[in-house]
């Protein structure tokens, strides 16, 4: 045992000194789940989609109205004849009386036979024009002959879309010795670790909404649920060098496809800052000289095609901004979070946290997605 020079001080003999340790453990780590909360929690789709049964594959039914546009599937047309037969991409969308617009020329449909329709050109004051091969048409109206017999027209098939449930799991294992000793910050080490488990799993579900890939799985590979990118594939708009106009362009795509109303956009913090910078300028905001508190938060943007509210989500990919109709998206729970005791195989308490969930997204065209955001 060594001798120390006088005086006896706090630096010379530290062994018997009592440690000053807080009896509280602070935890600063992202554990929120804004996307999941926005779309109604882990079982929001059960009410929105009105599922009646339970299974590892969930399906929802969708339908559309008869399309009003397509292409003329034949060679170019000259202006030589007034009444002609033309081949179209799908004759089932036509019936006698339909008025078509091809370029600036209007045509009136007098007969339909399979994918061949008979039309009167230069209809309703328009002028016959040379039409290129595979010209696009739009059905712009209906004008039936008085006293004409009824004619058949095709219908749209009801379709289904689906997703698979995905299993999330974490084991909680604490030794008998750890359960017996005293610890600062908690009295029960098992309960402390168990309390952290669900927030940790919620982070993984949030990331699955971003990166999820739909796969049925097998006995040797896990089944996985598709994220929102699996389902939102129609209304894609370029978001590079983001501007208010590009946000409106994305909403316009959804509006033209039949969407509209209230949208919810999920944005990365850096992306939100870029959007905020576009609106927090003198073009939109004025401050009185005596005002000392400045700046604004962009909670909602009003556009001609619908209003969009913003939810900041640290897990959201910075290159994508999904714009969602909340009534058409939600999570579905097959097995809610459960903590189950496992067989004791050694000197430890062992349990597992298990939950099984999936994402449901219907009516792809009611949503929009800004891509390549910068």
Task: Fill in the DSSP letter of residue 359.
Answer: E
pLDDT for 26:
60
- Is a pLDDT exceeding 80 seen at residue 212? yes
> Which residue ranges make up each domain of the chain?
34-60+161-282+294-371, 69-142
- In this prediction, residues 106-111 reach a mean pLDDT of 95
Least confident range of 3-17, 34-48, 161-175, 226-240: 3-17
pLDDT for 30:
59
Q: Is the Cβ–Cβ distance between 351 and 172 less than 8 Å?
A: yes
Q: How does residue 270 score in pLDDT terms, banded at 50, 70 and 90? A: very high
**288 vs 151 pLDDT, higher one:** 151
- The mean of the pLDDT values for the chain is 89
pLDDT for 361:
97
The residues that bridge with 163 in the sheet, in sequence order, are 58
The Cα 363–Cα 323 span in angstroms is: 13
The residues that bridge with 61 in the sheet, in sequence order, are 160
Looking at domain 69-142, which of 2.40.33, 2.160.20, 3.40.50, 3.40.390 is its CATH number? 2.40.33
Residue 367 has a CB neighbour count (10 Å cut-off) of: 28
The Cα 123–Cα 53 span in angstroms is: 53
Q: How does residue 352 score in pLDDT terms, banded at 50, 70 and 90? A: very high
The Cα 168–Cα 161 span in angstroms is: 23
- Is a pLDDT exceeding 80 seen at residue 281? no
């Amino acid at each position: 045992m060594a001798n120390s020079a006088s005086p006896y001080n706090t630096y010379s003999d530290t062994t018997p000194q009592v440690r000053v340790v807080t009896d509280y453990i602070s935890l600063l780590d992202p554990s929120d789940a804004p996307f999941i909360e926005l779309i109604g929690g882990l079982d929001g789709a059960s009410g929105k989609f009105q599922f009646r049964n339970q299974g590892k594959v969930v399906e929802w039914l969708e339908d559309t109205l008869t399309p009003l546009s397509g292409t003329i599937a034949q060679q170019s047309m000259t202006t030589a004849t007034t009444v002609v037969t033309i081949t179209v991409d799908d004759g089932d969308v036509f019936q006698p009386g339909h008025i078509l617009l091809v370029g600036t020329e209007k045509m009136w449909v007098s007969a339909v036979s399979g994918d061949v329709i008979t039309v009167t050109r230069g209809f309703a004051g328009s002028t016959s024009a040379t039409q290129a091969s595979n010209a696009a048409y739009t059905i712009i109206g209906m004008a039936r002959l008085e006293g004409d017999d009824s004619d058949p027209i095709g219908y749209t098939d009801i379709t289904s879309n689906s997703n698979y449930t995905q299993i999330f799991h974490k084991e909680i294992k604490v030794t008998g010795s750890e359960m017996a000793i005293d610890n600062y910050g908690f009295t029960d080490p098992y309960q402390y670790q168990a309390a952290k488990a669900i927030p940790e799993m919620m982070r993984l579900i949030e990331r699955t909404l971003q990166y999820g890939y739909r796969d049925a799985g097998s006995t040797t590979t896990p089944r996985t649920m598709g994220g929102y990118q699996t389902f939102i594939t129609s209304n894609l708009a370029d978001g590079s060098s983001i501007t208010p106009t590009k946000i409106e362009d994305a909403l316009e795509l959804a509006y033209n496809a039949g969407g509209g109303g209230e949208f919810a956009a999920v944005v990365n913090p850096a992306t939100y800052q870029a959007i905020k910078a576009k609106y927090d300028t003198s073009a939109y905001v004025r401050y009185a000289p005596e005002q000392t508190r400045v700046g604004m938060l962009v909670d909602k943007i009003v556009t001609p095609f619908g209003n969009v509210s913003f939810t900041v989500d640290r897990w959201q990919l910075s290159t994508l901004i999904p714009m969602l109709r909340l009534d058409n998206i939600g999570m579905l729970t097959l097995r809610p979070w459960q903590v189950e005791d496992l067989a004791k195989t050694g000197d430890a308490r062992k349990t597992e946290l298990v939950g099984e969930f999936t994402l449901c997204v219907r009516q792809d065209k009611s949503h929009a997605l800004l891509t390549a955001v910068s």
